[in-house]
Structure 1
Amino acid sequence: MQSFPVVIIGGGPAGLTAGYELMKHGKQSIVLEKGDKVGGISRTETYKGYRFDIGGHRFFTKVSEVQEVWKEILGDDFIQTPRMSRIYYNGKFYDYPLSLMKTLKNLGPITSTHIVASYLKAKAKKYVAGDIEAETFEDWVIDCFGERLYRIFFKTYTEKVWGIPCSQIRADWAAQRIQNLSLKQAVLNALFGNQNAKSLIKTFDYPRLGPGMMWERCQELLERHGSPVHLNTEVVRVEREGQRITKVILKQGDELSELTGEHFVNSMPIAALVHRLDPLPPDEVLAAARGLKYRDFLIVSLIIDRPELFPDNWLYIHSPEFRVGRIQNFKNWSPEMVPDSSKTCLGMEYFCSEGDDLWEMSNDKLIELASQEIVRLNLGVQPGDVEDGCIIRQYKAYPVYDGEYRQHLKVLEDYIKTFENLQTVGRNGMHRYNNQDHSMLTALLAAKNIVGEQHDIWNVNVERSYHENFTNEEWSKVKQDAQSTKDDSVSLSRAA
């Protein structure tokens, strides 16, 4: 039976960052990854020399510690990529964030008048009702934009992504993904030339061979310093004695093995983790885990016989007659993602759930669907331009913020906190719809806890730390809050 000081479950950005931070402190770890490559949903897949993301993953942060990790690992292999993304609706393009004049011109005077009237009505209603916080995504967006603009630009796309009505999605998701955007700000931008909403940036760092390049390099560094990364290795059981984890049972092919450790860091879905505990947790904890929901995702990567198409990094497809939700143009992320300069590679992204018609559709049928839709969208692709394609299906890509998730997650958080030597980090490990740098922040704190610091990683607030306007000052405040929260809990436990 092998033993390591720290056992890390999951080889995505969170798990690998924890290992990297521990390595810098001279602490050995082992990373266990179920897939055949590292990176999680930030990995880079390859098909016939064409490289593509599982979505699109930008590298930017205003937190210097995260930036330092990226630069230490990848060095000069970053390129600066201009950011451009637009909304496609009803055959026309709309800037994101919304440009007032172009939006009104595209929609026409009648619809535009209705939008302004709807906005004023929402603001008047909000003024009369007072400072009542919206609870659902639908209410939050209507409060900000008015009902008419909500139905045009938010409802269809959001329901494509989540597969449930916007009235069943918590406002938490809107608060962190559409931060600081409003129709009022769009008017000010148009009239006075104000800066774009501060939650959006104009350029970003990007590894020249895709995000997987970062995490594959991190894997190399860990293994070089005595911290192995095992691929195709599934953790099927996590054994405990009381509130202390003692070992994990691994499955590699048909072989089972055991691994012990002093500390354990988890980044697999928290619902899966509690069901793998042995003995199992109390019934209320298992019920909470069953209550958490996830949205799956698949990408149809198409090789197009065109040297260039639209200029965007990605497009949001809001038109309800198309099933595709978002389109990535990987050549516009990095030219090195496409091995033949006379070709283009597009990622047609479909949001779905395991077992539904999209998920169960054959690869040939999915390529046929994506090929037909890219032609119908009139984005420069003609019949016969699609030369080839491949499919990647991604389980549990997005934690769902439905009406019950918060109460379920609180039960799981409180239970996990009772363990002496277990921490859970990252998007799925904490069931938070966060981004790569936020996942890394939680992992950095977890690693710092192992080497002697005291932080409450659950106190890193994903809404406040929304990555595009998160500063070093705010990061320092987060660490102080996490420290003081931990100190308070220690004091209370001692007093008890």
Structure 2
Amino acid sequence: MTSPRSPLIIGAGPAGLTAALELMNRGVTPRLYEASAEVGGLARTPTDGDWRIDPGGHRFFTRNEDIMDLWKCLLPHDQWLVVGRRSAMLVGGYYVRYPLLGRDLLTQMGYRRGLRGLSSLAWSRLKRNFRLNDRDENFRQWGVGEFGRHWYEMFFDGYVRKTWLTEPEHLTSDWANQRIKPIGWRRSHDSDPASRDVFRYPRLGPGQLWEAAAGTLAHNGVVPRLNSPVTKLGFDGATWTLELADGDTATGDAVFSSMPLRLLVDALEPAPPKHIRAVAAALRHRSLITVAVGVDTRRDIPFNWVYTPGKDFHCGRIQNYRRWSNDLAPRDFDGAFLGFEYFIAPNGDLWNADDEHLTELVTQDLRTLGLGGAAVARVMIVRCEFAYPIYDPVRDRSVVRIRDYLRQQYPSLYPMGRNGMHHYDNQDHAMLSAMRSVGRAFGENVDPWQVNTDIGYHEYGLLRK
């Protein structure tokens, strides 16, 4: 039996594709519009021949059984790898494991530095005990209280300035509580406690999963329309009309949107009140440019991610793709395959830089890494404009005002996902917000805005083999 519902979905990233799958499972045929030429959003896997890039580093972990079951249904078991998370901070020539381990901090860079850091931590913890309200902390206050001034400035202050493009005092501590694990002090017989933190990963990169999702939809008659940015959303009280950049239109009775929240508000017609448009326009993102480089030297950096907080690197983080999956590089390639991540403001100077300039920049970072003499086999550049929502002090209040206005004026409009809700979500959170948005459209008592609101660290999850 054909459903009379006619929903429209904006965005074919994890949230948009999950919403489409959920609607399809409920007997509804949505129409799906994606601004770019690929599905997957930031979690896509751009390719150049047999070279594949993961532009962000996507670990697949979740605490939600439904999400895990969906992942397993979309990709067969033999296409999943189980990868141990190994990350490090590269500081002063030392690879300091991250999450930070107490014994490394006390010994790896010399006992004098270790004792200085420990005394700084003790003093900061003592002062924090007399603080009345930690929830109002900015990132710097949180970091100094959690790690002590010495270790905070060594590992996090420069990294935040470089990757979030702002002063640490201008960021809230909310995302840090969720993303940054405290120092591990417990002694373990395992020589590397971090190796027990494992996650799933598609053999051909994260985009393999989302391409499989798009394939499942296409098999059931739902084909995402690519290169179709939505420029206007008109609503007459009953029917939605989407206007696309090429002039085409589409009508439906509901809209599920993962486009950036401020762009959604700006595209609504009739236009929302001035104060709503003002708070939406103030929402900020950081963009990401990933420059992937294959070099002929087999440099076995034993980490998936290497964070580079110091000023000697232009990039904020380096990915070691061979630690994710050997199939991201050609089978006959025996060198190092690295991804250098540059975090910038949308439309900033670096965003508009040409490939020649970016190649020169990554060459300097290769030299700093000790690979300046290596022959370069391949360079790939991927740009992501709206990669990460920024958590400034007014974000929470602004998002709540926009959310409440949209719920009151447009009950059949459902923002979802990282950009749609301007919330720093992992893939599973984006998917869960999409599932709950669809459930809410069907009258269920669920709230997609309550996804990923835990205060504490959450980057461990369910792993079933």
Structure 1 partner of 2:400: 410
Task: Tell whether 2:127 aligns with 1:125.
Answer: yes
1:190 aligns with 2:211: no
3-state SS of paired residue (2:24): helix
Change over 3 Å in CA distance of 1:231–1:355 after alignment to 2:
closer
Tell me which residue corresponds to 2:311: 320
Match of 1:468, SS?
coil
Residues 137 and 173, structure 1, Cα contact 8 Å, conserved in 2: no
Q: 1:310 to 1:196 in 2, by over 3 A?
A: closer
- Tell me if structure 1 keeps the 8 A contact 2:197–2:460: no
SS at match of 2:75: helix
Matched with 1:346 is 338
Q: Does 1:111 align with 2:105?
A: no
User: Aligned-pair RMSD on alpha carbons?
Assistant: 2.2
Instruction: Check whether the contact 1:274–1:281 (CA below 8 A) recurs between aligned residues.
Output: yes
> Are the structure 2 counterparts of residues 371 and 309 from structure 1 closer, same or farther at C-alpha, using a change threshold of 3 Å?
farther
Match of 2:369 in 1: 377
1:300–1:347 CA contact under 8 A, matched in 2: yes
1:368-417 Cα distance to aligned partner (Å, 9 max, x none): 22122112222xx2414223312111101110111221221111111121
Counterpart CA distance in 2 for 1:201 and 1:236 is 46
Contact 1:4 1:260 in 2 (8 A): no
The alignment status of 1:236 with 2:231, answered yes or no, reads: yes
What secondary structure is seen at the aligned counterpart in 1 of 2:135?
coil
**Contact 2:94/2:109, CA 8 A, preserved across alignment:** no
Bigger helix share:
1
Judging changes above 3 Å, is the alpha-carbon distance between structure 1 residues 275 and 10 closer, same or farther for their aligned structure 2 residues? same
Matched, 1:398 2:395: no
> Which residue number in structure 1 is paired with residue 47 of structure 2?
46
Which 4+ residue blocks in structure 1 deviate beyond 6 angstroms? 191-195
Taking structure 1 as reference, are residues 195 and 463 closer, same or farther at Cα in structure 2, changes over 3 Å only?
farther
Quote the Cα distance in structure 2 between the aligned partners of 1:453 and 1:471.
26
Alignment of 1:77-476 (within 5 A): 77-130=79-132, 132-179=134-181, 181-182=182-183, 186-187=184-185, 189-190=186-187, 202-242=197-237, 244=238, 246-251=240-245, 255-339=246-330, 340-378=332-370, 381-418=371-408, 419-464=410-455, 467-469=458-460
Matched residues in 2 for 1:192 and 1:138: separation?
A: 34
Cα deviation for residue 463 of structure 1 reads 3.1
Q: Aligned partners of 1:230 and 1:41: how far apart in 2?
A: 17
**Structure 2 spans left out of the alignment, 5+ residues:** none
Does the aligned pair in 1 maintain the 2:67–2:432 contact within 8 Å? yes
For structure 1, the 5+ residue unaligned runs are: 473-496
Q: Deviations over 1:285-335 (max 9, x none)?
A: 100111111111101111211345312112111222211111111122111
The total of aligned residue pairs comes to 457
Per the alignment, residue 492 of structure 1 pairs with none
> TM-score, normalised to structure 2's length?
0.93
* Structure-2 change in CA distance of 1:129 and 1:256 (3 Å): closer
- Say if 1:81 and 1:205, in contact at 8 Å, map to a contact too: yes
1:191 and 1:227 mapped to 2: Cα distance? 51
* Corresponding residue SS for 1:44: coil
**Partner amino acid, structure 2, of 1:83:** R
